[in-house]
A and B are shown apart, each in its own frame.
Chain A
Amino acid sequence: MIEWVGWLYSDFMGQAFLAAFLASIACGIIGALVVANRMVFLAGGIAHAAYGGVGLAIFLRVPILPVVTIFSILCALLLGLITFKRQHHADALVSALWSVGMALGVIFVNLTPGYQADLMGYLFGSILTVTRSDIFIMAILDGLLFMWIWLFYREVMAVSYDMEYAQVIGIPAFRIYYFILVFTAVAVILLMRFVGLILVLAMLSIPSYLSESWSGSLKRMMVLSSLFTFLFMVLGLLVSYELNLPAGPIMIVVAGVSFGLVECLKLFWRWRRSKNY
């Protein structure tokens, strides 16, 4: 315990917690939208396709973060374009982008001679790589997301609940849909540092799914799911430090175990209630 306190105040840990806090905000807001809109699979497509951006940046020998950000936003826009009118075939189209993006990433990395850096960090997260400038970028992206949701909360809610009706009353549903996808890409990039592109899906879905049944409004679901995300990240960091294991996968396991426990408790409550009546 004493050991933890000293460690908490260390520069590294302070930075990690701050970064986790900033990422949780974006993750909670976007996770809620993704889960409530039944877009988890689309988010998965964006996250995996983003690996193509990692490969491209390595191949071109340019900074990775800006390239992945632009690449995944473009993927999100492309997904929006191909799925908005063809919701029925969305799963096939998303799968295509999902795999092709990853394949491109692998090819680009292979085409880069003598590249030895640890790519596992991008796929499964590496909290150690968070820098001060990352935190600065995270804060700006959070700010943009926050402003958007503050300005358009009612429209976003209307579109998320019933897109067809939203269109009838003149809400630009396609624009809101695109924005949700673009911010999903942004959230994926923010979370990439922590849990990596492959594990990001769990972080977007588990906290929000847990929050959904306890929230009377989309707003509350966003707040609650941000809190859950932060909790899982902090717990994950602490456990990974104790066990000396990679933080990203530990965060996901913490989230998964909590999810399982909550679901078991729910089943137990339902069983007890049915026995009482």
Chain B
Amino acid sequence: MRGEKLTDWVVELMEVSFSYDGHEVLRDVSIKVPKGDFLALIGPNGGGKTTLIKICVGLLKPKKGAVNVLGMEPDKARYRIGYVPQDTNRNKDFPANVFDIVLTGRLARKRGFRRSISNEDRLRVENILKKMHLYEYRNRRIGELSGGQRQRVFIARALVGEPEILFMDEPTASVDPSFQTELYELLKKLNESLTIIVVSHDMSVLSSYVKSVACVNGGVFYHGAPELTEEIIGKVYHCPVELIAHGVPHRVLKEHR
């Protein structure tokens, strides 16, 4: 086991169950994520990966079990976490530019009546935009950007609040494949200073970047180093899969029932 003290776990789920209208999605899920981890949640569609992330960020309340994020309840930890949603193509016509969208990420740290924006907030937005190579697009409307650029805007929005954990739901779902490698390179760099938990569909890029993998399908079937075996993946996906060299990447090639 890594980490002896309780505080070393940034995310702790203890026997968490969740169901939508009586349909159970997660059952007795326990998972502990150490500080500085780069964890990938993999598993089939409908397996509960997104639900798991939503429970961690406080969007959903578990029906049973306990959730601890940074040693507190998820909604108390809000200003210390970053969240990148799955769908980055939503509301493309919305009248807002890149700067203003990223600026909303600063609101997490504000309390009170009128959450006024300080010069420090603006400076931090500018810095993060430069870091994400978005500075030249700061006055562009959000809908005018490409899928990959918009994905970077959402990451910038999550990072501008200076989170300790970054949760990402399918970050590569709506971007072109050429951006995927770039994105994972970026995440690897970010991982030097923060914990990252990412939901992913495709495992082709994972092995070389992530530190650990959790297979989610109703429960957590496997949680550990990203060296997955055919047996484990077969168990999670309920179908025979073929492992291709370099560990994790898998293609569903064998006979499919």
B139, A162: Cβ atoms closer than 8 Å = no
CB–CB A161/B101 < 8 A: yes
B108 and A169 within 8 A (CB): yes
Residues of B within 8 A of A212 (CB): 93, 95
The stretch of A12-20, A128-136, A216-224, A264-272 that contacts the partner chain: A216-224
B65 within 8 A of A: no
- Contact of A169 with B78 at beta-carbon distance under 8 Å, contacts A162-B85, A164-B85 already known: yes
A9 to B91, CA, bound (A): 45
Tell me the bound Cα distance from A170 to B57 in angstroms. 10
- Distance (whole angstroms) from the CB of B158 to the closest CB of chain A: 9
Query: Are A155 and B57 interface neighbours, CB within 8 A?
Result: no
Contact B104 A170 (CB under 8 A): no
- A215 and B95 CA atoms in complex are apart in Å by 6
Interface size on A, residues (CB 8 A): 28
Establish whether residues B95 and A220, one from each chain, have CB atoms under 8 Å apart when the complex forms. Answer: yes
Would you give the 0/1 interface string for A163-192, flagging 1 where the beta carbon is closer than 8 Å to chain B?
A: 011111111000000000000000000000
Please tell me if A116 contacts chain B, counting CB pairs below 8 Å. no
Chain A residues, Cβ within 8 Å of B142: 161
Report the Cα distance A13→B79, complex, angstroms: 54
**Interface check A106, CB cutoff 8 A:** no
The 8 Å CB contact of B113, one of A151, A157, A167, is A151
Expressed in whole angstroms, the Cα–Cα distance for A271 and B230 within the complex equals 55
B85 close to A169 (CB less than 8 A) = no
Q: Is there a chain B Cβ closer than 8 Å to A158's Cβ?
A: yes
Within 8 Å of chain B (Cβ to Cβ): is A229?
no
Which residue of the partner chain, among A38, A154, A164, contacts B104 with CB atoms under 8 Å?
Answer: A154
B-to-A contact residues, CB < 8 Å: 57-59, 75, 78-79, 81, 83, 85, 90-91, 93-97, 100-101, 103-105, 107-108, 113-115, 117, 139, 141-142, 157, 161
Closest 7 CB pairs of A and B: A169-B108, A215-B95, A158-B104, A170-B78, A168-B83, A221-B95, A168-B57
- Which A residues have a C-beta under 8 Å from some C-beta of B? 36, 38, 150-152, 154-155, 157-158, 160-162, 164-171, 212-213, 215-218, 220-221
